């Protein structure tokens, strides 16, 4: 039995064969990460200490830094470890350091919140109906702020609908205007090939638990000419760019997950086929007038993400119904759980309120199989029938 199959079997036993389809919220811990973390538990030294125990800890830190750097095509000394993607974003998106912060309309809440600390400095790049940024609008905003210190922040892949942004083109515009650019790549790293050189950004942020590492550890990767202004001060760790004794156990897991993610990149083609099966099933369901099931499928997007709406049925109710049927999905960003509200991403894309209120995100991963897709389709058919009954169309059959 392979490690992947064995890990999947263990999960199914614990979860009573539930279908976990919320990988964009968090991925399961990879066996490789668990093994690296278990070994790191026995390492007593502080990585900053010069004695033998400290050097052993420093070696683990160095190996993990190399692995993360390799995953995104960067030099190891450009990687700064943090407590996660939110801290990484907050460290980069700093109104105290810039005269203007320009963000896309579909950024993660951690970027929006950091940029909104000084609302007078905030500008927003509009997006089209697919969620892609308007480069002409960005160029215009950069022209208007030409004499200022400007940071632009655009995510690589959207967490709700999967749209992949034209980051390299945006970076060219920014640098032509003398602006710096930050890219939140939390949702993309480990799912698509990422190269700092190809993207051309000054700062790239990522989070371990999105690609099979532990929760609570992330990183900032700096471009060749960029450096992080410390948000956390008090020590010389992380090239003096993030103070505090490093989370060695978490970082060891992140490094192991990074190597496993790089080795398994080809598997996302298989995942895309499973995602397409889900969309084909939903797409065949008969609609009722203007209230037909809606698939939100940008042309350039992550291979694992599907966004589905049943207009007139609230997204939180859809999530709860599917949960009771043994399927885990989400509505919007998991970081906003407990406060389900209309998706600001879909609003920015121009989706009508009836769709923005009724969209769920289905996200797959390297352990997703045909059985998970089958379970989703069965559960969604149950949800669909209830929706049809609410619309008074209960006599029609599910395809």
Q: How many CB atoms neighbour CB 18 within 10 A?
A: 16
| Pairwise CA distance, residues 209 & 30, whole Å | 10
pLDDT bracket for residue 15 (50, 70, 90): very low
pLDDT at residue number 12: 47
Which phi and psi angles does 367 have, rounded to 5°? -100, -5
Active-site annotation holder among 174, 183, 222, 335? 335
Alpha-carbon torsion angle 141, 117, 179, 238, nearest 10 = -160
Distance, CA of 290 to CA of 358 (rounded, Å): 14
Identify the pLDDT of residue 393: 59
The pLDDT of residue 17 is 86
pLDDT of residue 145: 86
Statement: residue 392 has pLDDT above 80: no
Does residue 192 have a pLDDT over 90?
A: yes
- Predicted pLDDT of residue 7: 54
Q: With contact defined as beta carbons under 8 Å apart, do 226 and 203 qualify? A: yes
What is the pLDDT confidence band of residue 275, given thresholds at 50, 70 and 90? very high
- Given a cut of 80, whether residue 26 has pLDDT beyond it is yes
Flag whether pLDDT at 6 surpasses 80. Answer: no
Q: What is the pLDDT of residues 282-323, one digit of tens each?
A: 999 887 555 678 999 999 999 999 999 999 889 999 999 999
Q: What is the model's pLDDT at position 16?
A: 67
Q: Average pLDDT in the 204-215 region?
A: 98
The whole-model pTM stands at 0.91
Percent with pLDDT over 90 in the chain = 83
Could you tell me where the DSSP H helices lie in the chain?
Answer: 3-15, 31-40, 52-71, 85-92, 109-115, 135-144, 167-176, 196-199, 237-240, 248-263, 268-283, 315-324, 344-348, 353-356, 370-390
Model confidence at 115: pLDDT above 90: yes
Distance CA(240)–CA(238), nearest Å, equals: 5
Helix axes 370-390, 315-324, angle to 10 degrees: 130
**Cα Rg of the chain, angstroms:** 22
Task: Count CB atoms within 10 A of the CB of residue 59.
Answer: 13
Question: What average pLDDT does range 123-128 have in this prediction?
Answer: 98
Beta carbons within 8 Å of 218's beta carbon, 6+ residues apart: 81, 82, 83, 84, 85, 86, 87, 88, 186, 205, 206, 207, 208, 254
pLDDT above 80: residue 390 = no
Question: pLDDT: is 384 or 338 the higher one?
Answer: 384
| Weakest mean pLDDT among 122-126, 239-243, 259-263, 292-296 | 292-296
Tokens describing residue 225: 């000419």
Q: Report whether pLDDT(13) > 50.
A: no
The span from the CA of 10 to the CA of 138, in Å, is 48
Between CA 147 and CA 154, with CA 150 as vertex, the angle to 5 degrees is 145
Q: What is the pLDDT of residue 386?
A: 85
DSSP secondary structure letter of residue 336: G
Q: How sure is the predictor about 156, in pLDDT bands with cuts at 50, 70 and 90?
A: very high
Query: Residues 47-76: what's their mean pLDDT?
Result: 97
- To the query of whether residue 92 is one of the catalytic residues in this protein, the response is no
Which helix (H) or strand (E) segment is 104 a member of?
strand 100-104
Work out the percent of the chain whose per-residue pLDDT is above 70.
91
* Mean pLDDT (the chain, rounded): 92
Rounded to 5°, the CA angle 183-32-334 comes to 45
pLDDT of residue 312: 84
For residue 306, the SS3 value is strand
| 204 or 4: which leads in pLDDT | 204
Residue ranges of domains in the chain, CATH in brackets: 3-28+265-390 (3.90.1150.10), 74-244 (3.40.640.10)
Tokens linked to 8: 């999947």
């Amino acid at each position: 039995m392979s490690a992947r199959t064995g890990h999947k079997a263990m999960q199914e036993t614990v979860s009573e064969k539930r279908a976990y389809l919320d990988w964009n919220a968090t991925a399961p811990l990879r066996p490789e990460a668990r093994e690296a973390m278990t070994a790191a538990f026995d390492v007593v030294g502080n990585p900053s200490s010069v004695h033998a125990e400290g050097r052993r800890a420093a070696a683990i830190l160095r190996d993990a830094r190399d692995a993360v750097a390799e995953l995104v095509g960067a030099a190891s000394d450009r990687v700064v470890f943090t407590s996660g993607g939110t801290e990484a974003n907050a460290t980069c998106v700093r109104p105290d350091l810039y005269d203007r912060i320009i963000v896309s309309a579909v950024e993660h809440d951690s970027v929006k919140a950091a940029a909104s600390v000084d609302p007078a400095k905030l500008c927003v790049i509009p997006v089209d109906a697919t969620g892609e940024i308007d480069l002409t609008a960005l160029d215009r905003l950069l022209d208007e702020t030409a004499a200022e210190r400007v940071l632009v922040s655009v995510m690589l892949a959207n967490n709700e609908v999967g749209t992949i942004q034209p980051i390299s083109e945006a970076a060219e515009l920014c640098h032509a205007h003398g602006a710096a650019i930050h890219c939140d790549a939390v949702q993309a790293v480990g799912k698509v090939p990422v190269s700092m050189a190809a993207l051309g950004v000054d700062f790239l942020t990522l989070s371990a638990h999105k690609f099979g590492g532990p929760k609570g550890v992330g990183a900032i990767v700096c471009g060749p000419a960029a450096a992080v202004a410390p948000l956390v001060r008090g020590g010389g760790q992380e090239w003096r760019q993030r103070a505090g004794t490093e989370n060695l156990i978490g970082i060891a897991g992140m490094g192991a997950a990074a190597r496993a993610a790089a080795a398994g990149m080809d598997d996302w083609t298989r995942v895309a086929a499973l995602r397409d099966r889900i969309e084909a099933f939903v797409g065949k369901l008969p609609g009722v007038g203007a209230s037909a099931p809606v698939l939100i499928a940008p042309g350039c997007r992550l291979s694992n993400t599907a966004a589905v709406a049943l207009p007139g049925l609230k997204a939180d109710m859809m999530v709860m119904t599917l949960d009771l049927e043994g399927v885990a999905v989400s509505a919007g960003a998991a970081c906003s759980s407990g406060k389900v509200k209309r998706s600001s991403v879909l609003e920015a894309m121009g989706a009508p309120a009836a769709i923005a209120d009724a969209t769920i995100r289905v996200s797959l991963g390297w352990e997703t199989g045909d059985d998970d897709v089958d379970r989703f389709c069965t559960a969604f058919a149950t949800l669909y029938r209830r929706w049809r009954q609410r619309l008074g169309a209960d006599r029609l059959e599910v395809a």
